[in-house]
Amino acid sequence: MAVRAAVLPAIGAPLEITGVDLPEPGPGRVRVRLAAAGVCHSDLSLCDGTMRVPVPAVLGHEGAGTVVAVGEGVSDVSPGDPVVLNWAPSCGTCHACSLGEVWLCANALGGAGDVYAHTADGTALHPGLNVAAFAEETVVSRSCVLPLPEGIPLTDAALLGCAVLTGYGAVHNSARVRPGETVAVFGVGGVGLATLQAARIAGASRVIAVDVSPGKEELARAAGATDYVLASENTPREIRALTGKQGTDVSIECVGRAVSIRAAWESTRRGGRTTVVGIGGKDQQVTFNALEIFHWGRTLSGCVYGDTDPARDLPVLAEHVRAGRLDLSALITERIGLEDIPAAFDNMRAGKGGRSLIVF
């Protein structure tokens, strides 16, 4: 059965909207009809080669949909079940998994090199980051689907697969924001907006959003920002002025650029925590001198997928959504079709908007 999908034929090439022939799900596999898929900056990074995957590929890793068929040996999900796609399933046996750090699983992207489908002319296709969500339907490993908790709109639930898990996890798992602390969030895209909401949920006393675009202030404040700072060379100074000349207890960088990582570091108080969520290229070099590392006593840490265990954290997020503390729809700035993905990428490059959501 052929379905429409956005295919990346080669690194740096434009996406092609074309028909893809999916196989019936084999043993341990699940076929999912997508309700929606989010357009994440990581997808853009895959297109331009900042991150590498085998090509040609169907990208898209943030999605939700309905199970339409299951293969032999799959008994815990059934046709008709709503699910969230999990693009980084843990193997449970590698060193990281044995330590309980499933977000660092050495085998999480093992399926990205597989051939999962073909174009009409027989060209083999890879599933991007395991799940190939930029398509009307996909076939994935059973480990790549998570049952959607009750009470969550299926379309908006797509954001739980990456942006919300990452932003929430950055606050609660990585930076471990405590009630009353001050937080700065650099970058008000989809992940940044989720991070702002998570900081509010954590009880931060002041939440400062930082972005290059003045047009994102309303979005940021709706997500929980108490202050909005336009990014410039004076950003650290402005943030210190807002925090009694101390700097924030926590700064979370959601951009992946050297200048914003450095600004987040300089905006953090002595002894505070700087967490880097954004994925940057190898050319983004950040420098520190030995004296400042000693003097400031700050902690600088990376954050992969929000340091989350999706199976553990998804029910927690669902409870926040049901209670009205977490607003998924507030992260979505436009609802689009497959053919609109290139325009969504252009908006990302220009620093516009929050999350674009492909609705099928």
CATH of residue 112's domain is: 3.90.180.10
Longest Cα–Cα distance in the chain: 64
Task: Report the mean per-residue pLDDT for the chain.
Answer: 95
| 179 preceded by a cis bond (ω within 30 of 0) | no
pLDDT digits (tens, 9 = 90+) for 311-354: 999 999 999 999 999 999 999 999 999 999 999 999 888 888 88
Q: Do residues 61 and 149 both lie within one domain?
A: yes
Q: What is the distance between the alpha carbons of residues 293 and 285, in angstroms, rounded to a whole number? A: 17
Q: Do residues 52 and 82 both lie within one domain?
A: yes
| C-alpha to C-alpha distances, 172 to 135, 145, 158, 313, 345, nearest whole angstrom | 32, 23, 21, 10, 29
CATH of the domain at 174: 3.40.50.720
Confidence of residue 211 (pLDDT cuts 50, 70, 90): very high
Contact 334, 357 (CB under 8 A): yes
Q: Do residues 150 and 176 both lie within one domain?
A: no
pLDDT digits (tens, 9 = 90+) for 151-165: 999 999 999 999 999
Q: Do residues 112 and 226 both lie within one domain?
A: no
The answer to the question of residue 51 being in a domain is: yes
pLDDT digits (tens, 9 = 90+) for 268-305: 999 999 999 999 888 999 999 999 999 999 999 999 99
Average pLDDT over residues 239-259: 97
The answer to the question of residue 309 being in a domain is: no
pLDDT at site 348: 87
pLDDT digits (tens, 9 = 90+) for 17-35: 999 999 999 999 999 999 9
Contact 34, 64 (CB under 8 A): yes
The answer to the question of residue 352 being in a domain is: yes
Q: Do residues 297 and 337 both lie within one domain?
A: no
The answer to the question of residue 133 being in a domain is: yes
Q: Which two tokens stand for residue 156?
A: 């908006």
Q: Do residues 275 and 225 both lie within one domain?
A: yes
The answer to the question of residue 314 being in a domain is: no
- Within 10 A of 16 (CB to CB), how many other CB atoms are there? 12
Q: Which two tokens stand for residue 175?
A: 């930076």
41 Cα distance to chain centroid: 8
The answer to the question of residue 59 being in a domain is: yes
Q: Do residues 16 and 146 both lie within one domain?
A: yes
- As for how many domains the chain has, the answer is 2
Q: Do residues 188 and 104 both lie within one domain?
A: no
0.85 exceeded by the pTM?
Answer: yes
Domain containing 156 equals 2-161+327-359
The answer to the question of residue 335 being in a domain is: yes
Across the beta sheet with 57-58, the strand order is 57-58, 2-8, 16-21, 117-119, 124-125
Q: Do residues 121 and 186 both lie within one domain?
A: no
Q: Where are the alpha helices (DSSP H) in the chain?
A: 41-48, 95-98, 163-169, 190-201, 217-223, 235-242, 258-267, 290-296, 310-322, 341-349
Q: Which two tokens stand for residue 132?
A: 């190939």
The answer to the question of residue 316 being in a domain is: no
Q: What is the distance between the alpha carbons of residues 355 and 353, in angstroms, rounded to a whole number? A: 7
Q: Do residues 260 and 202 both lie within one domain?
A: yes
DSSP-assigned beta bridge partners for residue 323: none
pLDDT at site 351: 82
